[in-house]
Amino acid sequence: MNTEKRREIFTRLRAANPHPTTELEYTTPFELLIAVILSAQATDVSVNKATRRLFQLTSTPATIHALGVDGLTPYIQSIGLYRTKAKNVIETCRLLLTLHEGRVPRDRAALEALPGVGRKTANVVLNTAFGEPTIAVDTHIFRVSNRTGIAPGKTVEEVERRLMKTLPKEFLLDAHHWLILHGRYTCMARTPQCWNCMLADLCDYSAKTPLPGKAV
């Protein structure tokens, strides 16, 4: 895909949603970090239901750490892998208190040293909480990047590298959110809504797919 086509794709996405953000509910970088840890292999909807209750009660590293694993578990047991996530959250809180004065570090290496935090989670926090131009490649971004031809790659790391290298800088800050939302609501895995897609005329997949009223 050439630069002009990529620019047009993100120009349209920006026009449709000038100020995109995560659908996870949070008010502080710490709440976002916890929500993203909990969101692994879970939906944002399920995480928001759990964190609404949790954050009403406690929303700091000290107070959540004081709950312990057993105290935290009832709040998150509706989320997949909740036992492992409870342990990771409590240990993350302990490390934030002992190593970072209770603050979420604005540093990739420090973030990735926290339990349950990999590159994708670190990228979400750096982008959404701190305004860093990072792209957290999840299943939606991986699918949209490959399907459209924006940044094809066989691994999430390869897709991330291509996106960071090829996207115009003016779009990097918000590209993460635009691609996730497009994959979540339009370019779905099993039934992409090519007929209702603002990018259909620019998309490699759509060009090969018969659409209603489209000559083949």
- The residues near 169 (Cβ < 8 Å, ≥ 6 apart) are 133
**Domain check: are 111 and 148 in the same one?**
no
pLDDT tens track for 162-207: 999 999 999 999 999 999 999 999 999 999 999 999 999 999 998 7
| Boundary of a domain, candidates 129, 148, 180 | 129
- The residues near 56 (Cβ < 8 Å, ≥ 6 apart) are none
Q: What percent of the chain has pLDDT over 90?
A: 93
**Domain check: are 100 and 175 in the same one?**
no
Catalytic residues: 120, 138
The pLDDT assigned to 94 comes to 98
**Domain check: are 125 and 143 in the same one?**
no
**Domain check: are 200 and 171 in the same one?**
yes
Angstrom distance (rounded) from CA 126 to CA 119:
10
> Any idea what the CATH number is for the domain that residue 124 is in?
1.10.340.30
The pLDDT assigned to 141 comes to 97
**Domain check: are 169 and 113 in the same one?**
no
Q: Is residue 216 part of a domain?
A: no
pLDDT-based confidence at residue 216 (cuts at 50, 70, 90): very low
- The residues near 89 (Cβ < 8 Å, ≥ 6 apart) are 34, 37, 38, 64, 72, 76, 116
Helix (H, G, I), strand (E, B) or coil at 120: helix
Domain that includes residue 176, residue range: 3-20+135-207
| Boundary of a domain, candidates 129, 157, 184 | 129
**Domain check: are 140 and 185 in the same one?**
yes
Q: Is residue 145 part of a domain?
A: yes
Q: What percent of the chain has pLDDT over 70?
A: 96
